[in-house]
Structure 1
């Protein structure tokens, strides 16, 4: 009988030990989850040292993943395989994700560094009062050209691309909104035009440019233009800055009659597990110090007023990358035009791409 009592006591002790161990593991797992921030960003779009600095200062651990398109990012968020805490959608994608109820409304009291953001990048039509997003970087779509091959100052607007002297010499960005947008703006229409006759006219206009186009690519543009393989290309300002760092003969111009003003933003998806951590990371990355480091590392323009004032004058005085107000007033932000119009833009762009070159 005594042996039985001892056995029962031992069994109860073992159960208690296992229960406590399981409880501690679950508590530890919960603590780990609360300590982790899943950050989903574009590739090579942050100074890596900032992640280390943030982790050291806060005790959070950042798991960093990258995407290569807004659409891929949105699909991943919709699928919910990973509960991302911070994402970096472009302006039109903020609008689309908001309409699909994928984003959390932001508590601005948890983002005190928002006060450092230039008001001209806040309260825009894609996200009134910045209810769902905070600006991260901004820039333009423009023309980069080699001044050793093309007279400096001779490229000023989209219309210059149609010069017969550039036959087979232009690299264009491989994007429907960008290409059809150039056609629309060259005809005096809005980048966000939804009139089907205007969209078709823009596509027809771009077809006439194709004899001058040697290729439609994206990420490789900066490499080819920097190496002098082509005399001019259409690309984004940050890509142009990278190329210009490698080749002093390059110049970048924002078309004087108008172009695209893009913004990439921080947002918190509804699937986020660590909302408090998300606020901490976003507020850190929009601070003056982080914005300076990022602007110098990535090459795009910062919306942080204090950071801009602290950057070297040779950067902020360059009107190609920090355009004056006269140019800024002519820039347009892409809007979410809806699925039907997106398909229409893509269809017209496909027609442009397959247009035989004469």
Structure 2
């Protein structure tokens, strides 16, 4: 199959995406679902998703194909998603948790098991993503993207390539120009990796050292960002930030002075997944929507927009070399071999992560 021509230079920052497409065009809401207009049953889905994490025409295309209107609400991190659904489903049909939160939500009886017979496009998924350790047999989730955390940076402001976590965790060199992500588990695990501990350890000595290091580094930190590190980098508010490869790949199309590196110690590899939360009002339509998102053409349209690596082999085959061969989107195997999935190791440890970061931010 001949790849399509390279896409136009369009890199939606979070603000630019919403302004350019229009909230009404994609059915976006920014709050909970209380007070949302409810279409007749069977013709309406509520989708709870990360910001800038859908193709420019995906929701309109699904409506044209199925007659189903999708209202998409936005969350900024997995902690927020979990907290919103912990007390019961408020009307969501499809959600997009990261792999360790798939485990956490399944353990808490917050997810519906998937019916693979209703998701025939599972055949499009690359074999590496069919039986992941966090969801054996794909009982609870379908793969949407995979991603890796690293450092986005402004080349003119940073000396050389910052291929070491020390520049954000253990150095005053870029004081006041550093952005850390706010999600507790991710941040704790990255510091553990920098300190030489297993990323998923529960060792109290190691966790105490994480907290001590971050409190010591706190005066040098400009911001703990909520899923908008690439925007802060693009606007010049910061010069170096922990962010996902896809987010930095988005803004690199707007500003050639931006770049991305996975530090030499390795990092956290993740997979954002499509799940049906317990009590979904429209489970059959939720399956239909998930199946649509795994379609080759739909998957390619999503990937072209969001610039995250896709687990959809059929979609990747439709993409041009600017996507398939991009080392920011698809880091080399020599780097990925040093990266690990986060694992859910019980509610007590998850709460401990949250308490550590709460104390750091209050210090």
Q: TM-score, structure 1 length as denominator?
A: 0.82
- The residue that corresponds to 1:155 in the other structure is 162
Distance 1:312 1:151 in 2: 32
Is the counterpart of residue 101 in structure 1 residue 130 in structure 2?
Answer: no
Q: What is the match of residue 192 of structure 1? A: 200
Which structure's CA Rg is the greater one?
A: 1
Q: CA deviation at 1:48?
A: 4.5
| 1:333 to 1:246, Cα distance in 2 relative to 1, 3 A | same
Which of 219, 238, 248 pairs up with 2:246? 238
- Whether 1:265 and 2:273 are equivalent positions in the alignment is yes
Give the conservation status (yes or no) of the 8 Å contact 2:172–2:217: no
Runs (5+) with no aligned partner, structure 1 = 1-30
The partner residue of 2:68 within 60, 65, 69 is: 60
* Aligned partners of 1:77 and 1:271 also within 8 Å: no
1:1-358 equivalences under 5 Å are 32-80=40-88, 82-152=90-160, 154-161=161-168, 162-355=170-363
* CA distance in 2 between partners of 1:340 and 1:79 (Å): 18
Give how far 1:49 is off: 1.5
CA distance in 1, matches of 2:228, 2:73: 22
Task: Work out whether residues 63 and 69 of structure 2, in 8 Å CA contact, stay in contact via their aligned partners in 1.
Answer: yes
> Structure 1's 77 and 231: CA in aligned 2 closer, same or farther, altered over 3 A?
closer
Native 8 Å contact 1:268 1:275 kept in 2: yes
Q: Is the Cα–Cα contact under 8 Å of residues 207 and 352 in structure 1 kept in the other structure?
A: yes
Are the structure 2 counterparts of residues 280 and 45 from structure 1 closer, same or farther at C-alpha, using a change threshold of 3 Å? same
Residue 28 of structure 1 is matched in structure 2 by: none
- What are the superposed Cα offsets for residues 201-225 of structure 1, whole Å, 9 maximum, x if unpaired? 2222333433432332234432331
- Structure 2 unmatched ranges of 5 or more: 1-38
Moved over 4 A (4+): 78-81
Q: Paired residues, what number? A: 324
Q: Is the 8 A contact 2:152 2:230 kept in 1?
A: no
In the TM superposition, residue 132 of structure 1 has moved relative to its aligned partner by 0.6
Tell me the secondary structure at the aligned position of residue 348 of structure 1: helix
The 1:151/1:69 distance shift into structure 2, 3 A limit, reads closer
Compute the RMSD of aligned alpha carbons: 2.3
1:157–1:257 CA contact under 8 A, matched in 2: yes
Secondary structure at the aligned position of 1:178 is classed as helix
